[in-house]
Chain A
Amino acid sequence: MSWLARLRGDDEPDEQQAPEPDEDSPAALQAAIDELVRYVNARAGGLPPAALVNARMLTDTLTEVVDSAAVRPLDVYAVISVRGVVGDYLPTTLRGYLALEPDARGVPRADGHSPTQSLMMQIDSLQTSVSATLVATREQDADALMTQGRFLQTKFNRSDLDL
């Protein structure tokens, strides 16, 4: 608190204020994924079995991405990808499908695809995207491991420059 504020008799700021919850923390991301899993399960009766299974595989992949934060902090692009899929893309896809009348789900639309086909394709696209994120994350881990290996080799082995 500044001396001017003390002279004016301003109140002390509350330094014990709880920090803002970090929505991008691994715990928050995992909680969002768990919520999405519950959303998918609760609507399993209205989804084609293959879409249900593929959607759950997608949530598994999202969990793997978040679990990689135990090794190293998540890349900002990985966080954006997980946030987008969990908070928007997959729920929007499922909501759009479930909003249709059951009789209309198998009828081809103007583009030649039925809503069920479109649902399968959209989940597959999301899976492809999240899988690419997971691969990139794992490659970063592998690169970090290789860098650590080179460091240890240099530190504890004789250098090639030694005579």
Chain B
Amino acid sequence: MLPDPSRAPARTDLPWLRHRPVRRVPAAAATRVDLRHAGRPAPGARPASAGLDLSRPTREAAPASSSLDLSAPAPAQPAPSPSLDLSSPAPARPSPSLDLSSAPAAPASARPAPSLDLGSSAAPAPASLDLSSAAAPSQVAPARRRPSAARGDEVLGYAPEGVVVGRPTLLTRDRPTIALTAVQSGVGVLRVTSAVSQGVGDFRLAAFAHLATGETVLLDHNRAMTTVPAASRRPVVQAVDRGFLVDLRQTPRLARLVVLGFSPTSAALAWSGALRVETIGGARVDVPLEREPGAGSLVALSLVNVGGRLVLRAERELVPGALREAALAFGFDELTWVDAWTPLV
């Protein structure tokens, strides 16, 4: 006795026998891409069209037409000619079409169709995405030009990577820079701290800050150079024990900050550890202090204020010599020095 075919298990080893039924789209719901070039009055009946019509073809018209016609079923048409017709069929019945025509003056009775109109339409089409140059220019507010480095604006010329809140971001050689958002750069305090073991040696932290006013200041907590501007009661940057605090409410006053590690005795240090940069919102950036052992100043981190956004970069540059050499190597050349370690305040 043969088993009931309806209960037979599905055959998965004959995939080529499967076929998918063609889904018929109802004519009224069909979406049509109509690249008509209008300007002409819409004829009542659809003329012989060879326009780039992406609507669904009718059974009758399709064999005779040589046009690219993916349109919805249209009413019966006269014998179409095999020509490229950019005319405006414009049926009276509105259809949700992607209309790239140049504005057929819609019949007064016709409801404006929801269409993508790239033409030079003069007719109102409230539901359409009209990229034309027509309409009333006086009514359109001039678009605000987006700043661009390619046009000479002083902005970032690239899309910077950001910081993911809740997950430390490590700046490495392959990804040496990130940018804080405008909010992260302008709210609260940015805390820069060092995490260095005793094995490194006689490690100290210092920083050079350059303000928008042009003032350049060395920050060294161990020598009581603790505020920028110097001796300010409302400092933009403040040196604390093993770190710095940047008052982000005063970000516009800060142009540049460079943080470096050094040995006050010029001893060679076994560089290791990291700088940790934290925002009040929980964003954290780690900057390694990894270098081969050596003397000098290890410039680890730079912050640059670009239009209110702080751009952080792991510099990883070991500058031989004293603090003066490090200052000159990073463009802080407006300081006057008493000796190689002490600027004139």
Residues of chain A lying within 8 A (CB to CB) of residue B25? none
Q: Is B16 an interface residue (CB 8 A)?
A: no
Q: Is the CB of A54 within 8 A of B329?
A: no
Q: Is the CB of B152 within 8 A of A118?
A: yes
Cα of A56 to Cα of B157 in the assembled complex, Å: 11
Total of A-B residue pairs, C-beta within 8 Å: 83
Q: How far is the CB of B333 from the nearest CB of chain A, in Å?
A: 6
Q: For residues 60 through 83 of chain B, which have their beta carbon under 8 Å from a beta carbon of chain A?
A: none
Query: Residue on B with the closest CB to A34?
Result: B317
Residues of chain B lying within 8 A (CB to CB) of residue A56? 177, 313
Contact with A along B311-325 (1 / 0, CB 8 A): 101010100000000
Q: Is A135 an interface residue (CB 8 A)?
A: no
Cα of A52 to Cα of B331 in the assembled complex, Å: 11
A interface, size bucket: 20 to 34
User: Which residue of the partner chain, among A44, A51, A54, contacts B330 with CB atoms under 8 Å?
Assistant: A44
Which listed segment binds A: B35-43, B47-55, B97-105, B301-309? B301-309
Q: Is A13 an interface residue (CB 8 A)?
A: no
Residues of chain B lying within 8 A (CB to CB) of residue A38? 317, 329
User: Which residue of the partner chain, among B152, B156, B256, contacts A116 with CB atoms under 8 Å?
Assistant: B152
Query: Residue on B with the closest CB to A41?
Result: B330
User: Which residue of the partner chain, among A42, A117, A121, A124, contacts B329 with CB atoms under 8 Å?
Assistant: A42
Q: Is the CB of B153 within 8 A of A120?
A: yes
Q: Is A95 an interface residue (CB 8 A)?
A: no
Q: Is A133 an interface residue (CB 8 A)?
A: no
Q: Is A57 an interface residue (CB 8 A)?
A: yes
Q: Is A48 an interface residue (CB 8 A)?
A: yes
Residues of chain A lying within 8 A (CB to CB) of residue B331? 41-47
Instruction: Say whether chain B's binding surface is mostly helix, strand, loop, or mixed.
Output: mixed
Cα of A52 to Cα of B315 in the assembled complex, Å: 13
Query: Residue on B with the closest CB to A44?
Result: B331
Cα of A117 to Cα of B332 in the assembled complex, Å: 23
Q: Is the CB of B177 within 8 A of A121?
A: no
Binding site for A on B (CB under 8 A): 149-158, 176-177, 210, 216, 255-256, 304-307, 311, 313, 315, 317, 328-334
Query: Residue on B with the closest CB to A125?
Result: B150
Q: Is A28 an interface residue (CB 8 A)?
A: no
User: Which residue of the partner chain, among B151, B153, B306, B315, contacts A53 with CB atoms under 8 Å?
Assistant: B306
User: Which residue of the partner chain, among B149, B153, B176, B317, contacts A60 with CB atoms under 8 Å?
Assistant: B176
Q: Is A114 an interface residue (CB 8 A)?
A: yes
Query: Residue on A with the closest CB to B151?
Result: A121
A-B contacts, 26 listed (Cβ < 8 Å): A41-B317, A42-B328, A42-B331, A44-B330, A45-B216, A45-B332, A47-B331, A49-B255, A49-B256, A49-B304, A49-B306, A50-B157, A51-B154, A52-B304, A54-B149, A54-B156, A57-B157, A57-B177, A60-B176, A117-B153, A120-B154, A120-B157, A121-B149, A123-B157, A124-B150, A127-B158
Query: Residue on B with the closest CB to A51?
Result: B154
Cα of A54 to Cα of B210 in the assembled complex, Å: 19
Cα of A50 to Cα of B177 in the assembled complex, Å: 14
Q: How far is the CB of A64 from the nearest CB of chain B, in Å?
A: 8
Residues of chain B lying within 8 A (CB to CB) of residue A51? 154
Q: Is A72 an interface residue (CB 8 A)?
A: no
Residues of chain A lying within 8 A (CB to CB) of residue B329? 38, 41-42
